[in-house]
């Protein structure tokens, strides 16, 4: 079966760095997405990785290792507004997105 695993909840301190991991087992791979979802709101796109390596976008970076079936989202200089759920999703061989359950990130002052 297809499976995406990510931690249910993480806590971090304002100004710090946090890494949210995602491991996946899917039938085929056509890229991995990270989305941010604030409580009660729609998910919004953060990043897309299809090749191995690190993609940096401001305070957010996303890493992919296809051989390990592993990705992480790195958030630097955490701000209170980063409190949200972070969703990992993999596009499979049928070009369908398989979604993880999301990681709820709590930022403390």
Partner 1 sequence: DVKVTQSSRYLVKRTGEKVFLECVQDMDHENMFWYRQDPGLGLRLIYFSYDVKMKEKGDIPEGYSVSREKKERFSLILESASTNQTSMYLCASSLAGGPGNEQFFGPGTRLTVL
Q: Which is nearer to partner 1, 16 or 101 (CB)?
A: 101
Instruction: Look up residue 89 and give its two tokens.
Output: 């999703």
Candidate residues 11, 44, 65, 79; the one interacting with partner 1 per rule CB under 8 A:
44
- Contacting residue, 75, 84, 89, 105, with partner 1 by CB under 8 A: 89
Which residue, 78 or 89, has its beta carbon nearer to partner 1? 89
Tokens 């390596």 belong to: 53
Q: Does 64 bind partner 1 (CB under 8 A)?
A: no
* Angstrom distance (rounded) from CA 98 to CA 89: 5
Question: Which one of the spans 9-17, 36-44, 53-61, 75-83 is the region binding partner 1 (CB under 8 A)?
Answer: 36-44
Residue 100 as a binder of partner 1 (CB under 8 A): the answer is: yes
| Euclidean distance between CA atoms 26 and 73, whole angstroms | 19
What tokens were used for 68? 């390990």
3-state secondary structure of 98: strand
């Amino acid at each position: 079966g297809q499976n995406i695993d990510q931690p249910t909840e993480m806590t971090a301190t304002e100004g710090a760095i946090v890494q949210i991991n995602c491991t996946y087992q899917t039938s085929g791979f056509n890229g991995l997405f990270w989305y941010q979802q604030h409580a009660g709101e729609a998910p919004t796109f953060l990043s897309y990785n299809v090749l191995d390596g690190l993609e940096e976008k401001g305070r957010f970076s996303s890493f992919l290792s296809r051989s390990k079936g592993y990705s992480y989202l790195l958030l630097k200089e955490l701000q209170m507004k980063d409190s949200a759920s972070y969703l990992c999703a993999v596009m499979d061989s049928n070009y369908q997105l398989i979604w993880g359950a999301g990681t709820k990130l709590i930022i403390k002052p």
